[in-house]
Amino acid sequence: MSQGALRRPGLDAAQVERWLSLVCASPDAHRTTQRSPLDLEPTITVPHSTEDDVDRAFADAHAAQQRWAATSMRERARVLRRFHDLVLDRQALLCDVIQWENGKARTHAMDEVLDVALVSRYYARRSARLLAPKRRRGAFPLVTRTWELRAPKGVVAVISPWNYPLDIGVTDLIPAVMAGNGVVWKPDLQTMLTALIALDLLHAAGLPRGLVQVVAGEGPVVGPMLVDRGDYVQFTGSTNTGRTVAARAAQRLVGCSLELGGKNACIVLPDADLTKAVDIALRGAFVNAGQLCIGTERIFVHELIADAFRSALAAAARDLTLGANIGWGSAMGPLISPAQFARAEAHVRNAFDKGADLLVGGRPRPELGPLVYEPTVLLNVAEGMEAHRNETFGPVASLYVWRDEDELVQRVNDTEYGLSASIVTPSVRHARALAARLRVGGVNINEAFGAAYASIDAPMGGMRASGLGRRHGAEGLLKYTEAQTIAAQRVLPLAPGRFTDEQWARVATLALRILKTLRFR
């Protein structure tokens, strides 16, 4: 399809301006025009928020949060259930805009829609139980009665990236508001319209206006303003920026949750089904053109099947349908920006210059789109090459052969990152034992990344340089709260009182011995 024939979303100009009005920015704000990775043509012109705008966003969110915290969990859940339905109803619009702003294949855009609905349903059903006051064992049975309460943090700063513009930002703010917080959200400039449509749908579902505020601007400019004002910080992005966010939040003694980079491995055991192993490695490496933090950048295949696997993987990668258009039909779209395209090219060129070999790919495809790059697999990638340890975040993977499982574990763990991994084998018992030896936050058995990520009841996040904290599950909600303990003492005091200090020491010692015997604690 020629560049001039690219389909663009059929958006009404007045509607786009209404969505842009949701950005907390003054009428005379500085604006920048974003460009679609499909053809580098303009998409929308985004107003930038000043420091005064950010101050106003936090003030308005605080005011709305005070009212929202008083609403019932039933009402909050009703909002999420309606939002769930609206997201599914408006999936065509959402996928169009995601593709227009991000460039990804439509099936990968649809993944975002489905995950937002999944997370909405989960927290609509589970939040009331997770946040309910809980009885805890007191200091002494029958004498001390203790409860744990959960209170919202206040206003949470959410900073979300461009690679999953609907999914990541929305599924971070959903548990934050369910816990009774307000949110000031800074989506990436490149994918701002996706975020604004999501906020509009939340308003249509009944979320009070003002509770979630959107600010816009360059990350190094606006990001620190959010970190300096938020009562908690949720950040998704690069490890280097994550370190800066953590240090800045620590200065204020506020908590943060960080989902950062990865250099994730796909491990193919010798008993793996070849077709399944190739499919898993292929999807892991080239979903969203490799721009996925839990995607695969290193493939480890056992020597017994290495030759067959290499041939099958190369053939499958060549068969992938590449494209830069809105609609179904492509298996992989372009990279997000010229800078990201240049990074992928630089990693491949650096590997070649230092002695690596090419299994497949390694070329731009300008006839398909200005930012389309072939799915690429490198061989003989070694220490000192950019692609060996550094995250590429593009359609580039390195293939390694292994023999001994102890050596394999050492090689997989030989990175500062620890986000995700996948293992392909018919023996789930063996895979679980191997997974327990990997220093990563999530391991998928016989799946690239989706099994662990879509298990919303389980925590998702990274170890080491891949981040702090977790999203999803109970922790993904409770991190947005402060725990409060209330304890009522009856009959006997926990201090000498009418006893002398010496008498109290004897009484307390006897009580502890009795409790041990009775197994109360």
Name the active-site residue from 259, 345, 374, 386. Answer: 259
Higher pLDDT, 66 or 504: 66
pTM of the model: 0.92
**Gap between the Cα atoms of 102 and 323, Å rounded:** 13
Residues 236-274: pLDDT tens digits? 999 999 999 999 999 999 999 999 999 999 999 999 999
**Gap between the Cα atoms of 193 and 200, Å rounded:** 10
**Gap between the Cα atoms of 282 and 352, Å rounded:** 22
Burial environment of residue 147 by CB neighbours within 10 A (0 to 12, 13 to 18, 19 or more): middle
**Gap between the Cα atoms of 64 and 86, Å rounded:** 23
From the list 324, 99, 105, the residue with the least C-alpha distance to 190 is 99
Q: How confident is the model at residue 489, as a pLDDT?
A: 86
Q: Is the pLDDT of residue 8 over 80?
A: no
**Gap between the Cα atoms of 288 and 393, Å rounded:** 10
Buried b (16+ CB within 10 A) or exposed e, 473-482: bbbbbbbbbe
For residue 89, give the H/E element and its range.
helix 73-89
Average pLDDT over residues 435-446: 97
**Gap between the Cα atoms of 36 and 46, Å rounded:** 14
Chain centroid to CA 128: 23
293 is catalytic: yes
Q: How confident is the model at residue 1, as a pLDDT?
A: 33
In the chain, the percentage of residues whose pLDDT exceeds 70 is 97
Residues comprising the chain, all counted: 521
Average pLDDT over residues 30-43: 96
Residues 189-242: pLDDT tens digits? 999 999 999 999 999 999 999 999 999 999 999 999 999 999 999 999 999 999
Confidence of residue 506 (pLDDT cuts 50, 70, 90): confident
259 is catalytic: yes
From the list 229, 378, 237, 402, the residue with the least C-alpha distance to 314 is 378
Q: Is the pLDDT of residue 520 over 80?
A: no
Q: How confident is the model at residue 139, as a pLDDT?
A: 79
What SS3 state is found at 9?
A: coil
Distance set, CA 100 to CA 10, 114, 326, 414 (Å): 11, 18, 7, 38
Higher pLDDT, 498 or 460: 460
Confidence of residue 132 (pLDDT cuts 50, 70, 90): very high
Name the active-site residue from 293, 345, 374, 386. Answer: 293
Buried b (16+ CB within 10 A) or exposed e, 87-116: beebbeebbbbbbbbbbbbbebbbbbbebb
